[in-house]
Structure 1
Amino acid sequence: MSKHEPLGPLQPDYLAADLFGYQGILTDDEAKIVLKVREFLAAEVAPRANEFWEKAQSPVHLLPKIAELEITGLGYEFEGRTAARKVLTGWLGLEFSRVDPSTGTMFSVHSGLAMSSISILGSEDQRERWLPAMRRMEKIGAFGLSEPHGGSDVSGGLETTARLDGDHWILNGSKRWIGNATFADLIIVFAKDEADGEVKGFVVEKEFDGFRAEKIEGKYSLRAVENADVYLEDCRVPVANKLENANSFADTSKVLRLTRGGVAWGAVGVMIGAFERAVTYAQEREQFGKPIASFQLISDLIARMAGNITACLGMALRVSQLQDSGIHYDEHAALSKTYCTTRLREVVGWAREIMGGNGILLEHDVIRYFADAEALYSYEGTSQMNNLIVGRGVTGFSAFV
């Protein structure tokens, strides 16, 4: 595409919204993987995204097809395969969310939060026990940290408890907002040890006695993610299912530090999806005898959207580069998450504004992005909590309660 060519139909080999050409940072092999996934999403996900969103059903039928792409757990080292760069895995998150944030979240909960917990906090035996099957998507994972009464204060206010009883741990409590939990085979559950008060991590399998998951109804953001309330009532978890290196909330934070940066990539993907549809609409919609793209106020909104996308893509990319280099701190992930999701709210609002009344119709997609943006803005730490993390990193003083 020349610099004078307007944004036209979506192409399989570039993203016109990537005005600074950040995709060029990918290696040739990485770019091939991205294009393969982009084509899959266009063919398999895009045509039915609104249908599954409206029905509030996860597209679980896609899991075997996603497994065939061989991208699950791409960021972890397996026998015969080195770990991919975070730059690549982040970009794949962008691609998923660009088409459907719900499908992107379904995938990232499994491949990101659940698999990362086992990879980072599990023993070698535990990694060998669960990760290969999860990589093949024969076992689907979920991540259970948030609770009905605990969000921002979950580090110190965890109510779910764990008590060692012989060769089992007894878990009691509940978790809320647990994506994939209605169909997951195993859920990473964090609970406070009654003996020492420390947060421990456990792999709870769906067939364990005392485990129950109920889908949350009436949810109007990321509707095609099946979030659940999880109930643990004297749930007996074998000692072998206690993650060996999950012995404090500081250990839990190692997972969040890694995945929080991934939310920034997802936010950029949602921005691009809304942007592409708004631009196409502006090119085709005529008022006063000409396309509204020729109006100055519309051009102003499009330029603002492009600026947010470019800035946030650069930030997400840099955080991934820092992760790849081994220089990565809490404030890096926190700043990228809070900044990108805040800018996301602006972009989806402007996209809906460009479409006028048509912007609230699901057939135009933007209202789905508009609603889904609210979940990305809130999960993995509110904007305010992430700002406190950034402030602590900059000043050295903690403003947490």
Structure 2
Amino acid sequence: MAAATSQKQGDDTKAIMDSTVGLPALEISAAFPQATPAKIFPAMVSDYYQFDDLLNFEERSLQKKVREVMEKEVAPIMAGYWEKAEFPFHVIPKLAALGVTGGTIKGYGCPGLSITASALAIAEIARVDASCSIFILAHSSLAMLTIGLCGSEAQRQKYLASLAQLNTIACWALTEPDHGSDASSLSATAVKVNGGWVLDGQKRWIGNSTVADVFIIFAWNTSTKQINGFIVKKGSPGLSATKIENKIGLRIFQNGDILLKKVFVPDEDMLPGVNSFQDISKVLSVSRIMVAWQPIGISMGVFDMCHRYLKERKQFGFPLAAFQINQEKLVRMLGNIQAMLLVGWRLCKLYESGKMTPGHASLGKAWTSNKARETVSLGRELLGGNGILADFLVAKVGLLAY
């Protein structure tokens, strides 16, 4: 009897499997209804206090443009690329067409945006995909900004236009295997030689490094005992970059290890405006505004996803949104986002008025990141088992929250 029952169960299982083989994915998913996945991105409902009333026409127009492109072109493919830990390079022309790369830099083919518009663009990109926002942030708000603020006129003319169009990709290499938060104590060295410099050392966790055409490298000047900056071109003898594998967070974004073995850099590619860590800090202060807006965008996307999910998913005969415990979590998430938006907006206004200090930028970045961790953690709770599926967005950024 047991054997017959087991055989029947096996036949039933095989029949079910046979009936699904070859069916379109949409038909199979329809047989197991849960809720609308993030590839059809949810409507924006997280701006509860109507923050966009504070924006001017140009800022609102850019916000709308970036949101539409990210939702239409990027959202449908992100889960698949997250699973493969690969970057969708075919979307780079679409990102370039947004006109946000280069941010606040004026001239040289750059958009010359207000700091508020640039921050909004980062938030809108992060709302759909955190990895894409870091790709732009590392390229634009670190590498390009360093050339814009610390480069010579000839360097700005030579490099910025191509970088602004994303025809070439840049990375920004400060962090080393033994020097993370202690970034001013670099081990990489720069030795002066006839006609240029020779760089030796290692860099780690450098975003975009495996695909970069232009490397911004910081090294310890053995003569002056200060940090200098250099523009190093892809293919330079002695320069290599390898992808860091098995990364479980920000999987689409490519981080790498850079090895410098007697890399020669001509004098014209030394950045004249980088002569100490204080010069690097000028770049970091501006980029921290962008970094502060990234968790704002991430949190907005998670809230929008959870809001829609709780209305669609039913348990005990009611939408999950009908239960007060879920409403309380949603309200906490929404409250965090409203406060984060206003802190981010105030940072931009302080910068535009010339009043922002490095302390303002650092506190804003730290605080919005902290609130984003809380917000995403609540989102993970609200989605239950589906919270670990990249299809519902939260899993893709949830690893940043723990």
When normalised by structure 1's length, the TM-score is: 0.88
Task: Work out which of the residue numbers 178, 190, 193 in structure 1 matches 2:218.
Answer: 190
Task: Work out which of the residue numbers 174, 178, 195 in structure 2 matches 1:167.
Answer: 195
1:107 maps to 136
Cα distance change on mapping 1:80 and 1:195 into 2, 3 Å = closer
Q: Distance in 1 between matches of 2:368 and 2:41?
A: 26
The Cα of 1:225 is off from its aligned counterpart by: 0.5
2:114 maps to 85
SS in 1 for 2:218: strand
Displaced runs of 4+ in structure 1, greater than 4 A? Answer: 79-82
- The reply to whether residue 46 of structure 1 matches residue 65 of structure 2 is no
Which letter does structure 1 place at the counterpart of 2:384? Answer: G
Q: Show the 5 A alignment for 1:194-273.
A: 194-273=222-301
Contact 1:270 1:373 (8 Å CA) reproduced: no
Contact 2:102 2:111 (8 Å CA) reproduced: no
Cα distance change on mapping 1:177 and 1:100 into 2, 3 Å = same
The Cα of 1:10 is off from its aligned counterpart by: 3.6
Contact 2:59 2:116 (8 Å CA) reproduced: no
The Cα of 1:372 is off from its aligned counterpart by: 3.9
Q: Distance in 1 between matches of 2:300 and 2:393?
A: 12
Contact 1:59 1:103 (8 Å CA) reproduced: no
Q: Distance in 2 between matches of 1:193 and 1:91?
A: 38
2:342 maps to 314
Task: Work out which of the residue numbers 135, 138, 155 in structure 1 matches 2:164.
Answer: 135
1:341 maps to 369
SS in 2 for 1:154: coil
Task: Work out which of the residue numbers 64, 67, 70 in structure 1 matches 2:96.
Answer: 67
> Aligned residues, how many?
363
Q: Distance in 1 between matches of 2:387 and 2:167?
A: 39
Contact 2:139 2:170 (8 Å CA) reproduced: yes
Task: Work out which of the residue numbers 79, 85, 98 in structure 2 matches 1:56.
Answer: 85
Q: Distance in 2 between matches of 1:269 and 1:45?
A: 15
Task: Output one character per residue of 1:302-325: Cα deviation in whole Å (capped at 9) or x when no partner.
Answer: 011011111111111110111111
Q: Distance in 2 between matches of 1:79 and 1:95?
A: 25
Q: Distance in 2 between matches of 1:135 and 1:17?
A: 30
Contact 2:86 2:254 (8 Å CA) reproduced: yes
Contact 1:271 1:309 (8 Å CA) reproduced: yes
1:146 maps to 175
User: Which structure has the larger Rg over C-alpha atoms?
Assistant: 2
- The reply to whether residue 19 of structure 1 matches residue 48 of structure 2 is yes
- The reply to whether residue 36 of structure 1 matches residue 65 of structure 2 is yes
The Cα of 1:74 is off from its aligned counterpart by: 3.1
Cα distance change on mapping 1:80 and 1:248 into 2, 3 Å = closer
1:389 maps to none
1:96 maps to 125
Cα distance change on mapping 1:79 and 1:182 into 2, 3 Å = closer
The Cα of 1:47 is off from its aligned counterpart by: 0.4
Unpaired segments ≥5 residues, structure 2: 1-39
Task: Output one character per residue of 1:328-359: Cα deviation in whole Å (capped at 9) or x when no partner.
Answer: 11111100111011111111110010111221
The Cα of 1:364 is off from its aligned counterpart by: 1.4
Contact 2:41 2:75 (8 Å CA) reproduced: no
Contact 1:93 1:108 (8 Å CA) reproduced: yes
Q: Distance in 2 between matches of 1:80 and 1:195?
A: 36
Which letter does structure 2 place at the counterpart of 1:58? Answer: F
Instruction: Tell me which moved more, 65-74 or 175-184.
Output: 65-74
SS in 2 for 1:39: helix
- The reply to whether residue 364 of structure 1 matches residue 384 of structure 2 is no
Instruction: Tell me which moved more, 351-360 or 76-85.
Output: 76-85
Contact 1:98 1:273 (8 Å CA) reproduced: yes
Contact 1:115 1:134 (8 Å CA) reproduced: yes
Structure 1 vs Structure 2: percent identity of aligned residues?
A: 38
Which letter does structure 1 place at the counterpart of 2:328? Answer: D
1:178 maps to 206
- The reply to whether residue 274 of structure 1 matches residue 302 of structure 2 is yes
Q: Show the 5 A alignment for 1:279-318.
A: 279-318=307-346
SS in 2 for 1:259: helix
Q: Distance in 2 between matches of 1:362 and 1:336?
A: 28
Which letter does structure 1 place at the counterpart of 2:279? Answer: D
Cα distance change on mapping 1:122 and 1:229 into 2, 3 Å = same
Q: Distance in 2 between matches of 1:348 and 1:78?
A: 38
The Cα of 1:237 is off from its aligned counterpart by: 0.7
Which letter does structure 2 place at the counterpart of 1:193? Answer: N
